[in-house]
Amino acid sequence: MQFFAFLGAPASWRYVLLAGLLAFAETAAAQTKPLTISGAVALAQEKNRDLQIANLAVAKASQRTREARGAALPTVSGTGQYLYNFQRPVSFLPGSFAGLADNQIAALRVGGDQAFVGSVGVYQPLFQAGVKSGIRAAGIDEVRSTAEAAVTANNVVTAVRKAYLDVLIIEEQLRLQEQSLGRNVQALRDARSLLLQGRASRVDTLRAYVNVENLRPEILRLSNGIGIAKTLLATTIGLDADEPLTLQDSLYFDNKAESLTSAQAYALALENRPELRQLKLTQDFNQEQIRQISAAGRPQLAINGLVQAQAQAYNLRLGDYQWPVSSFLGVQVAVPIYSGGRVQARTEQARITRQQTDRELANQQELIRAEVLTSVSSVQETRRRVESQQQTVGAAALGYRITRDRWRAGMASRLDLTDAELALTRTKLGYLQAVYDYQTATINLDRAVGRAVPQ
């Protein structure tokens, strides 16, 4: 009735309602975000919070470099001061200046109630050994922060790709269980039909019913698991936890994928791993710190100057003031003589820190070697497992079809059909798990060799 009432509405109202329905449909469609695995990685590089924090650290290090360069530039400062003297300043003069005895001191108040002082000072270091080392250290630290951000990016990309695979495998597991449910529902229908024909027992029908009902809780569990996995994926990317996602890629096995040997993978890791670049930069940073700290025991040379104008009066008519100017320009030399051994102790601490970094780098290289060897071995093992499972799935599917036809012809028992269906489902799930393990091993290998994005 409502539909016919809608047809009888004026044309203008129909157009408005249709436009509203179309807008609602477009909004509903836009609420779900279609996402490929490469799109998820690109989105995470933009929105992931850990990566944003790392990028801010790079920006902060850039400002530290700017600050270090400023130490070699002149420092110019200006000051201004106004005073109102409730009691004018006292100057002490020999008594002879005020008509007193020579052994007396005359206290005279001089100046006006209003006092103004303005000055501009300049300080320019000419020789300061630690400045250049500080600039170089800050520049190295900036590059090191970039390498640290690359470490974070590598970890984030790995986490996003794995979270994406977690959603895919649960979706595929759900699809396989639904297929199994469909086969068991069909078997239940066949059992009931054969029971009515007197060609099957009530026990076979009951067993078929139990098999169907046993699958429903697993389907519910997997359906809920998809929602949880998508929430984790959205959070890892940096989206809102309740962001609706539609995954467009599928879980598949690429038998043409590049295969790396252990030597090739380790060579790539030594070249690409940001952790190694970060530690090598830390070595350079430590060396500059040693130079910078040692420079604290060397002489420093600088130019400093001051221009100052001041005036005093009994009123605020500034145009009537006299503004005498005084100025100077000088050279300042500072020579450290004794500091209680603090400079030597700090220098030795910096050298020990450099030695710690050397050992940390060597240890990191060995850990990466072990990680690469493990990852390559895992990729090779899972690839063989997938290839083996591919043949098993075909055999299990053929076995199920043969057993089903024999059961319909009364040549096989219901138990035989149940076993064949269970074997088919388990084989497909095993193949799916093998593909998932292969994809996971590939992701781990990409991370081990320092490839932050999928190849």
Residues shown for the chain: 455
Helix (H), strand (E) at residue 209: helix 202-237
Give the C-alpha separation, 402 to 92, whole Å.
122
Helix (H), strand (E) at residue 84: strand 75-84
Lowest mean pLDDT among 4-13, 103-112, 238-247: 4-13
Amino acid (1-letter code) at residue 259: S
Backbone φ, ψ for residue 411 (5° rounding):
-100, -5
Give the C-alpha separation, 158 to 236, whole Å.
10
Between the alpha carbon of residue 211 and those of residues 192, 217, 397, 421, the distances in Å are 14, 11, 19, 10
pLDDT exceeds 80 at position 27: no
The mean predicted confidence, pLDDT, of the chain is: 83
Report whether 244 contacts 234 (CB < 8 A). no
Confidence category of residue 452, pLDDT binned at 50, 70, 90: low
Between the alpha carbon of residue 432 and those of residues 94, 166, 420, the distances in Å are 105, 12, 18
pLDDT exceeds 90 at position 12: no
- Averaging pLDDT over each range in 46-50, 94-98, 107-111, 420-424, which range is the top one? 46-50
pTM of the predicted model as reported, rounded to 2 decimal places = 0.76
Backbone φ, ψ for residue 80 (5° rounding):
-140, 145
pLDDT exceeds 60 at position 1: no
Residue matched to tokens 């046993």: 214
Mean local confidence (pLDDT), 214-229: 91
Q: Residues 255-300: pLDDT tens digits?
A: 777 788 889 999 999 998 998 999 999 999 898 888 888 887 788 8
CA angle 352/354/357 to nearest 5° reads 115
Give the C-alpha separation, 252 to 380, whole Å.
16
390's CB contacts (< 8 A; 6+ apart) are 253, 431
Q: Is the dihedral of CA 107, 109, 111, 113 positive or negative?
A: positive
* Residue that wins the pLDDT comparison between 424 and 201: 424
Model pLDDT, residue 453: 60
36 torsion bin: left (phi>0), alpha (psi -120 to 50), beta (else): beta
List, in sequence order, every residue forming a beta bridge with 120; answer none if it has no partner: 78, 307
Confidence category of residue 129, pLDDT binned at 50, 70, 90: confident
pLDDT exceeds 80 at position 369: yes
Model pLDDT, residue 229: 92
**Beta strand 325-334 pairing with 300-313:** antiparallel
Model pLDDT, residue 31: 60
Give the C-alpha separation, 157 to 277, whole Å.
19
User: 3-state class of 36 per DSSP?
Assistant: coil
Between the alpha carbon of residue 56 and those of residues 44, 142, 168, 354, the distances in Å are 16, 11, 33, 26
Confidence category of residue 454, pLDDT binned at 50, 70, 90: low
Model pLDDT, residue 233: 92
Between the alpha carbon of residue 451 and those of residues 82, 261, 276, 437, the distances in Å are 65, 16, 14, 19
Give the C-alpha separation, 199 to 202, whole Å.
10
pLDDT exceeds 80 at position 14: no
Confidence category of residue 5, pLDDT binned at 50, 70, 90: very low
